[in-house]
């Protein structure tokens, strides 16, 4: 039997989640909103940002919260061996939008297939997040390089 307090909590949660357009914790969202800006020459400022918002599928926006590593003029996002919806979306259309704070950057995603590039990514990942990526074989993971369009 559902109590009145459980019912009200469920209604509140439903209203809260439907009011969010961007991702909420582990729940994906829709279109991101903010001020567009050109991609910077260096993404070093993201070293201080644990999680960013990534929007894929421009035709029907799908956004997630994700860890990010900045290296020079590129950002890297990693899904491990998980072929998540946002990975499928980037494979279908590489145009993505990334949000940090109130700023939106329009970027293009390319899957990393070089073990050498993956190895260069792994050290800053471990330094930032405290552990190396779970799988170190680039052929078995989904790592994407994001650069200005």
pLDDT digits (tens, 9 = 90+) for 44-81: 999 999 999 999 999 999 999 999 999 999 999 999 88
The domains found in the chain, sorted by start residue, are 4-148 (2.30.110.10)
**What is the model's pLDDT at position 35?**
97
Averaged pLDDT score across all residues of the chain: 88
Residue 105 DSSP class: E
Tokens found for residue 65: 């919260």
**What is the model's pLDDT at position 14?**
46
Task: Specify whether the CB–CB gap between 124 and 130 falls below 8 A.
Answer: no
Per-residue pLDDT tens digits for 108-123: 999 999 999 999 999 9
């Amino acid at each position: 039997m559902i109590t009145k307090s459980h019912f009200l909590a469920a209604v509140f949660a439903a209203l809260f989640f439907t009011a969010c357009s961007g991702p909420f914790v582990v729940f994906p969202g829709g279109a991101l909103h903010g001020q567009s800006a050109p991609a910077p020459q260096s993404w070093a400022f993201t070293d201080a940002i644990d999680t960013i918002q990534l929007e894929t599928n421009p035709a029907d926006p799908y956004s997630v919260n994700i860890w990010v590593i900045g290296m020079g003029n590129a950002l890297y996002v990693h899904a491990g061996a998980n072929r998540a919806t946002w990975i499928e979306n980037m494979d279908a259309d590489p145009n993505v939008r990334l949000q940090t704070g109130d700023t939106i950057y329009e970027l293009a995603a390319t899957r990393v297939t070089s073990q050498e590039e993956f190895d260069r990514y792994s050290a800053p990942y471990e330094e930032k997040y405290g552990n190396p990526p779970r799988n170190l074989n680039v052929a078995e993971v989904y790592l994407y390089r994001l650069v200005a369009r």
